[in-house]
Chains A and B, each alone.
Chain A
């Protein structure tokens, strides 16, 4: 069981907006450590979408918005496209396990 909890699945129609939550604990997000988000399309490697809670690497569209409040983080996708369908993972540092970088269990987005 992951210490970062994500809903197993979310869905939305093309053009709609969806939000994926990531709930952590006092040893990770609640301790102030940043949330990072990855997109994994079918048959591909994970791709960094958001780092440091809300920053987008170059090349990531501004339809992807990250936020964090307390021990929870969220990824909002505006204007859903068919090509967004895949798995989304949050990730953070956890100081209860001597420097572990931990991932959420993942959320499957269906468009």
Chain B
């Protein structure tokens, strides 16, 4: 069965770029959507965006042009870049698969990111 695991720095300075990678194991990345979500402390999850296996993206409009994603199906991983971060971007970041683009299953265990100087 497919498993996902996030990796990246746990601390990012304000105004810099947050970069995370999600490694997929147990299956190929073709024909599915690959998502990033985040959960601020004590709050509900928030969808950040999708990248389809062919590179087409769809982002949450609330994050505007700050989000970018890339995918490398040959290496079984996809990535998130979030620019100009502020303290409001402090959260637990998750990657997840979506077979239909509507719901998320499974999720990775999450990686905490703190934005602070």
List residues of A whose CB falls within 8 A of some B CB.
2, 33-34, 36, 38, 44-48, 51-52, 57, 89, 91, 93, 97-106
Contacts and interface: CB of A to CB of B under 8 A. Distances in A.
B39 to A, nearest CB: 8
Nearest to B50: A101
A57 B44 contact: no
A103 B44 contact: yes
B34 interface: no
B23 to A, nearest CB: 15
Chain B interface residue count: which class? 10 to 19
Contacts, number: 57
Nearest to B48: A101
B105 A51 contact: yes
B61 A100 contact: yes
B102 A102 contact: no
B44 A104 contact: yes
B45 interface: yes
Contacts of A57: 105
Interface in B32-65: 43-47, 58, 60-62
